[in-house]
Chains A and B, each alone.
Chain A
Amino acid sequence: MTRNNEKIRPSPWPHRWAWLLACATFPLIWVGGLVTTNDAGMAFRDWLTSDGTFFLFYDWLSAAGDKFVEHGHRLLGALAGFLSLGLAIVTWRCESRGWVRQLSLLVLASVVLQAVLGGMRVVLDERVLALIHGCTGPLFFLLCVMMVVVTSRWWKSGVTLAEKGPAAKVFRLAVLCTGLAYLQLVVGAALRHSPRMTHESAGGVFQLAVYFHLVLAALIVAYVFLLAWKCFRHRLQRVTGLALLALVAMQICLGLGSWLVKYGMPSWATRLLGERTFVNHADDGLQAALVTSHVATGSLILAASLVIALRVARQLDYGLAKLPQVRFGQGETVS
């Protein structure tokens, strides 16, 4: 990788913006999760305006409860939008790699799409759109993380590995984990939204989602464990690998906790462990914190496995310039 990187001194700004955007997007995701937890999505029945006021001028700090959460989500979304715009501008000005520029445009387009999706969820009062909005949110977060990774100095000055065998396996494993983590997120979204659907099939969707969520959790634990072990053994992305493992461990605990504070103990567990001694409180801090952290950690797991995949791919010199084009050049019509 000694193409023309040394000729132009790379600007640090795209990377900084990307970090900023990723840091704004992460809370956006978990506040979004909080909106679902509180079922606050319809706190306002209008969009782009909040209760008739253009949303940027709405008196957010005087709002309470659901309106505070929902409007907070809107404001954070706007922030992510402006940051994406900034990122696109900065990238176009300072970045020489064409595909990174295109990627920044894709980020911008995605944020707009995501916002419109969220808006339509409100305007049409459509829970299914909320579900999709919840599934695409992490995808946008992934794009932001991708921007961070590919604009980093490490990436630009990347060193290829001499021995590629183990790294290729790590790469495949990381891609697999990313895929599984995302599927898990989709199933999780179905699990969270189906209880509040009123159609008769909602029970079936929920049941299915629960079973899939459990199966996928088991698969993810197994593969992430394997991935972390490979990373550690082959000295590839050790920190991220370990972080991923820790996140998954935490995620399992958060998941169990979320179920417990929301739905209590299933009958088999009661028989094994006895009954819980405490009472759940609807909409209390514990419930909100556990459930929302579960959602947030899910996105982090997704991001961490993507980071491993991307960085190992970089180390493997997997046709880096082409990589994003392969992924996004085909179906992309926006940019």
Chain B
Amino acid sequence: MNYPTLNKLEAFTKLQGLCVLAVVLAAGCDTAEPPAFRLNMVEAVVRETPPEYSQEISDVLGAMFGTPDQPYALAETGLDQAKLDMAAGPAWSDKKGTNFGLYRKHCVHCHGVTGDGRGPTARFLNPYPRDYRPAVYKFKSTLNAARPTDADLHRVLMNGVPGTAMPSFSLLPGSEVEALVEYVKYLSIRGQMESALHMVVYELEEEEVVDENGEPRRDEAGEPLLQRTPLNPATYPEQREEILSYLEELMEGWNTANEQIIVPAEDQIPGDDRLPEEVLASAEAGRKLFYGKADCKKCHGPTALGDGQQTDYDNWNKVHHEFLVEIGRKSESIVKRVGDGELDKAAEQQLINDRVELARWQGVAATLYKPRNAIPRNLRQGIYRGGRRRIDIFHRVFTGIAGTPMPGSGPASPGAKGTLTEAQMWNLVDYVLSLPYEPPSQPLKALPVNVDEVL
């Protein structure tokens, strides 16, 4: 008997077997090398750090921060090594049931090994997962320019971010959440340090070439020959000092975060015992500000549906957007010059160099995701990514949202002049919290009818 179908089936089974094998082999390199921290190549290319420095920057970072499997924290960072060890490495549990490798277990699939927000699933998520490296966090209780406090990071982990893929980790034991907070800070500090190392490299002067007697070599004109100074804090103590001073400076930002918490004036905070009419009046005042002085309508739209100014980018996307725009500009310029023809020798050399440079840029661009616009929040849905408590909304209004187009209305630093008074900001908070209950069909007329339910 002949079984054409079965023969086919077998062929398919074989093919599928091959597929599985291929997946295995593809992923097989997974085990060949332990995961490694990667450099921010966009920054390296945009800052025009010579490519020869990449390896050295990577080495210095490796010395200061270790690897994803073996994190290391200099004493200057004040990070808790025990917590880092708990959060880093592959996922496993010891005999007592303590879990290790928490970051790899809970975070890495979105935020990536390096904390660059580019884990395997990141491309599919909206918004893209946070890139920790610039150490800018949106939802915090501190001033716009300040770092978040540990409590802020802890709160985001516990509450998640509504409306996004970021889940709540409230089911994890407290010690595990704390370890994750520490590890997130560690990745941020590492990212900031990477940025700082580009500055260190930028500041490096070329050094003189010396012969075996320690005498500087000279060219025909008698000028000393110069060469690239390597970045190596082990051989150049002054580089070490400079790196440490950068570290100290950025750590100051983290260590003083608690001093930069926005504390609303006690007498301005609306009580919980307000009458519905008072709340209505406050929300009405907020509505006037929304369309008037505070100008929220510009971005959140005249209907507050988030349909105002939608073409801007947040910092993270803006970097990539501008990077891609610049690539377009570069290739345009090359095309134009090729089209012009008749190049002298220097111009031709320049063209070749520019092409090499462009190829490098395009290589980096191939690893990027499509930049997305920062869409202002639709305030009628009642989804507040940074938390729905009145104080959370107040913080957003007061200082804006760091890294995004959202500006603040309060003073940018203690003692400075704010756009609005605190009482006005509380009015806005009342209005924003009443918006989900206002019929969007008549946004300018309707009054918040269900305000007392919100509060």
Listed in ascending order, the chain A residues whose CB lies under 8 Å from chain B are 39, 42-45, 51-52, 63-67, 124-128, 131-132, 135, 171-172, 175, 179, 182-183, 186, 190, 193-203, 205-207, 210, 262-267, 270, 274-284, 287, 318-319, 322-323, 326-327, 330
Contact = CB atoms under 8 A, between A and B. Distances in A.
A240 B372 CA distance: 47
A44 B160 CA distance: 29
B31 interface: yes
Contact of A267 (B118, B119, B160, B372): B372
A277 B163 contact: yes
Contact of B381 (A124, A175, A190, A277): A277
Nearest to B380: A274
Given A179-B12, A280-B165, A42 B90 contact: yes
Interface string B19-30: 110011011111
A195 B106 contact: no
Interface in B69-116: 90-93, 95, 97, 99, 101, 104-106, 108-110, 113
B160 A279 contact: yes
B108 A275 contact: no
Contact of B31 (A42, A126, A206): A126
Interface string B145-173: 00000000000000111111111111110
Contact of B30 (A198, A203, A263): A198
B338 interface: no
B171 A198 contact: no
Interface stretch (B40-48, B123-131, B393-401): B123-131
Interface of B: 1, 3, 5-6, 9-10, 12-13, 16, 19-20, 23-24, 26-31, 33, 35, 38, 68, 90-93, 95, 97, 99, 101, 104-106, 108-110, 113, 118-126, 159-172, 372, 378, 381-383
A274 B35 CA distance: 37
Contacts of B108: 195-196, 198
14 contacts: A43-B92, A65-B97, A125-B92, A128-B27, A128-B31, A131-B24, A179-B12, A179-B16, A200-B38, A210-B124, A264-B125, A275-B162, A277-B381, A280-B166
Contacts of A319: 1, 3
Contacts of A42: 90-93, 101
Nearest to B31: A126
- Across the A-B interface, give the 5 residue pairs with the lowest CB-CB distance, nearest first: A195-B109, A198-B35, A280-B167, A264-B165, A267-B126
B28 A128 contact: yes
B184 to A, nearest CB: 15
Given A126-B31, A278-B162, A279-B161, A198 B104 contact: yes
Contacts of A128: 23-24, 27-28, 30-31
Given A186-B20, A266-B124, A43 B93 contact: yes
Contact of B119 (A186, A195, A318): A195
B237 to A, nearest CB: 36
B126 A264 contact: yes
Contact of A276 (B9, B97, B110, B163): B163
A199 B29 contact: yes
A43 B126 CA distance: 31
A193 B20 CA distance: 13
